[in-house]
Structure 1
Amino acid sequence: MVDKESLKQLALMGAINSPVKVSSYELSVKLGSSPQTASRRIQELEEEGLISRTIQGNAQWITITDPGVDLLRKEYYAYQRIFEREEDAIELIGTVMTGLGEGKYYITQDGYMKQFTEKLGFKPFPGTLNLNLTKESVTLRKKLDNHKGILISGFKANNRTFGGGRSFLSEIEDIKSAVIIPDRTHYPPDVIEILAPVNLREALRVDDGDEVRIKVFI
């Protein structure tokens, strides 16, 4: 079983952002274990490819690898779901519609993709699912305007300015996703765009006109 607690403690010590000098004794204090146990756990994490370790003299420098970071993100997402209350979510209902075809272009821009992956906790499929909301859901959707959400910053690339926006984590039939609300959009207020780590049309087996329900966490 993966030792997530030791990985978490190393992350809290800063090993996600850059190599940190870690002694077995220092880690053992945080774990409430013996230095021998802490040393063994470090070795196991290295063997599992979750950390990289460099020995310099009597010191060891540790960095959490990409697979290690991904594992921690999954834990974070799971705990979010545990502690988020039902009253902190709204359910929107809409029918699937074909969009303007711009989703793939924008999502695959490095400036957006990096932010989506880091801030949403998943690497999005290059495309969005667009829903035409019911009248009741349009009213509920306005609640999002009163919440900060997850900020997606604008940027410049290839002599072009790309606008920012906000996003809200969501779920569709237990599939993690996110509603994206650009600062500038060509869509009317009754249309929402949804990101997910999978092709939602295929995963949900839906086509234009099919009804979809989405729980949005605010």
Structure 2
Amino acid sequence: MEEVQIPRSARDDSMTFVGRVVSGTGQGAQFLVLGWVAAQLQEQLSLTPFPGTLNLRISTEIRQSLFERRKEFLRISDPASPDCPGYVKKVTLHANGRTCETAYLILPEKTMYHDVLEIVAAVSLREHLLLSDGDAVEVEIDPG
């Protein structure tokens, strides 16, 4: 798998890497319809997400780098279980000559998958970016 990470410089807090599209298990879609998730995404980001996530396979090193930066992300959590939050960060996606500037990476505090990221948006990202399993997607973490 071809993955490139562009390191952050002293003046630029962005990060860019490439992941590969993989099919998910449907758990992301189940997560997005939870009342507290939908309410917090709408309230904090004005986002009504498409009922499904785009899953990208990445290296464990990239996921670790993102996890170390999670305090820079928006924190969401179930009011009944605040000890297991998720972190959300706006990203720009590039694939197949197309771009989506209104997508969000969701990084759970606890996960079974240390090599898969889930991305949400108001639209089907597979359709918008013309994606199939195995396609490369460049992910740019928006600074700030």
TM-score, normalising length: structure 2 = 0.77
1:102 match: 27
1:167 match: 88
1:151 match: 75
Which protein, 1 or 2, shows the higher relative CO under an 8 Å CA cutoff with sep ≥ 6? 2
Amino acid in the other structure paired with 1:198: V
User: Is the contact made by 1:120 and 1:178 (CA closer than 8 Å) also made in structure 2?
Assistant: no
Q: Matched residues in 2 for 1:145 and 1:185: separation?
A: 11
1:56-108 per-residue CA deviation (whole Å, 9 max, x = no partner) reads xxxxxxxxxxxxxxxxxxxxxxxxxxxxxx82211121110011111111101
1:180 aligns with 2:106: yes
Computing the radius of gyration over CA atoms, which structure comes out larger, 1 or 2? 1
Amino acid in the other structure paired with 1:168: K
2:5 match: none
**Aligned residue pairs, count:** 125
Gaps of 5+ in 1: 1-85
What is the deviation of 1:164? 2.0
Identity of aligned residues (%): 33
RMSD: 2.0
Hey, which of these two has a bigger chunk of helix by percent? 1
User: Is the contact made by 2:91 and 2:105 (CA closer than 8 Å) also made in structure 1?
Assistant: yes
Which of these residues, 43, 52, 67, is aligned with residue 118 of structure 1? 43
Q: Matched residues in 2 for 1:186 and 1:145: separation?
A: 14
Hey, which of these two has a bigger chunk of strand by percent? 2
